[in-house]
């Protein structure tokens, strides 16, 4: 619905500038940023924007879509032989690192959906897919770590991740290890420890 109007324009310099500006402005100032301000920062005309997208909503959704892989790549650990517990805690270490930065405004996907308050908005759908990917990672590691209920633990870890980010924004300061401690407590309760006794149940299983 609010997609680029032509696949031939995907990856064009104008489109890239527009999406770069959108990612920066929407994260820093919120989704209420107007088209004129967006185009001014991007250095493109409104006419050019509407040749690429049918609305600002389309720009918002596309900017999230483009930034999602890099965001997840930053959060998730590389493929390695660390125990599942350590791989999960890696994500929360990254969160602690981000939350300590002065320009941190929370998870970009949570921030957008909270502002939009519209689950069916194109940008909300993109945000949900990204969040589902993080939950899927948690579930995979929970299964490998021997959790009794991997699905529940994955959802709990996602809530801990999102809630920690919101707290950092509300308090205007870093988490000071709170996110890590919360994730560790959830892993402990689920029986996912860091030793070799946590047998990997089918490492090929991805759910």
Task: Please name every residue paired with 185 in a beta bridge, in sequence order, or none if there are none.
Answer: none
Task: Count CB-CB contacts under 10 A for residue 114.
Answer: 16
The C-alpha atoms of residue 80 and residue 22 are separated, in whole angstroms, by: 34
- The answer to whether residue 179 scores a pLDDT higher than 80 is yes
Confidence of residue 181 (pLDDT cuts 50, 70, 90): very high
The C-alpha atoms of residue 172 and residue 83 are separated, in whole angstroms, by: 33
Give me the chain's average pLDDT, please.
89
The C-alpha atoms of residue 63 and residue 27 are separated, in whole angstroms, by: 10
Specify the pLDDT at position 194.
Answer: 72
Residues 93-97: what's their mean pLDDT?
Answer: 98
Specify the pLDDT at position 195.
Answer: 56
- The answer to whether residue 132 scores a pLDDT higher than 50 is yes
Tokens of 171: 């308090």
- The tally of CA atoms less than 13 A away on the side-chain side of residue 16 is 3
Residues 123-138: what's their mean pLDDT?
Answer: 97
Specify the pLDDT at position 201.
Answer: 39
Residues 182-194: what's their mean pLDDT?
Answer: 94
Q: C-alpha distances in angstroms, 85 versus 43, 78, 139, 191?
A: 46, 14, 12, 10
Burial label for 181, CB within 10 Å (0-12, 13-18, 19+), is: middle
Q: Write out pLDDT tens, residues 40-65.
A: 999 999 999 999 999 999 999 999 99
Q: Write out pLDDT tens, residues 3-48.
A: 333 333 455 899 999 999 999 999 999 999 999 999 999 999 999 9
- The answer to whether residue 184 scores a pLDDT higher than 50 is yes
Residues 136-149: what's their mean pLDDT?
Answer: 97
> Residue 195: helix, strand or coil by DSSP?
coil
The C-alpha atoms of residue 28 and residue 103 are separated, in whole angstroms, by: 8
Task: Tell me which residue has tokens 């001014």.
Answer: 40
Q: Out of 13-22, 119-128, 197-206, which region has the weakest mean confidence (pLDDT)? A: 197-206
- The answer to whether residue 2 scores a pLDDT higher than 80 is no
Specify the pLDDT at position 11.
Answer: 55
Distance of CA 98 to the CA centre of its chain: 12
Task: Tell me which residue has tokens 């100032």.
Answer: 29
Specify the pLDDT at position 193.
Answer: 86
């Amino acid at each position: 619905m609010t997609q680029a109007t032509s696949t031939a324009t995907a990856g064009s310099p104008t489109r890239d500038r527009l999406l770069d500006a959108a990612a920066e402005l929407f994260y820093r100032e919120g989704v209420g940023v107007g088209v004129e301000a967006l185009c001014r920062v991007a250095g493109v005309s409104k006419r050019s924007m509407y040749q690429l997208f049918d609305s600002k909503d389309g720009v918002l959704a596309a900017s999230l879509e483009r930034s999602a892989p890099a965001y997840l790549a930053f959060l998730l650990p590389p493929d390695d032989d660390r125990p599942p517990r350590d791989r999960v805690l890696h994500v929360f270490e990254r969160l602690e690192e981000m939350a300590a930065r002065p320009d941190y405004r929370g998870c970009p996907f949570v921030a957008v959906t909270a502002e939009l308050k519209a689950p069916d908005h194109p940008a909300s759908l993109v945000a949900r897919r990204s969040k589902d990917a993080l939950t899927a990672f948690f579930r995979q590691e929970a299964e490998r770590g021997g959790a009794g209920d991997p699905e529940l633990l994955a959802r709990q870890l996602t809530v801990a991740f999102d809630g920690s980010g919101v707290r950092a924004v509300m308090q205007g300061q870093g988490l000071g290890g709170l996110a890590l401690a919360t994730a560790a407590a959830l892993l402990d309760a689920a029986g996912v420890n860091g030793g070799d006794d946590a047998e990997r149940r089918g490492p090929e299983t991805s759910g």
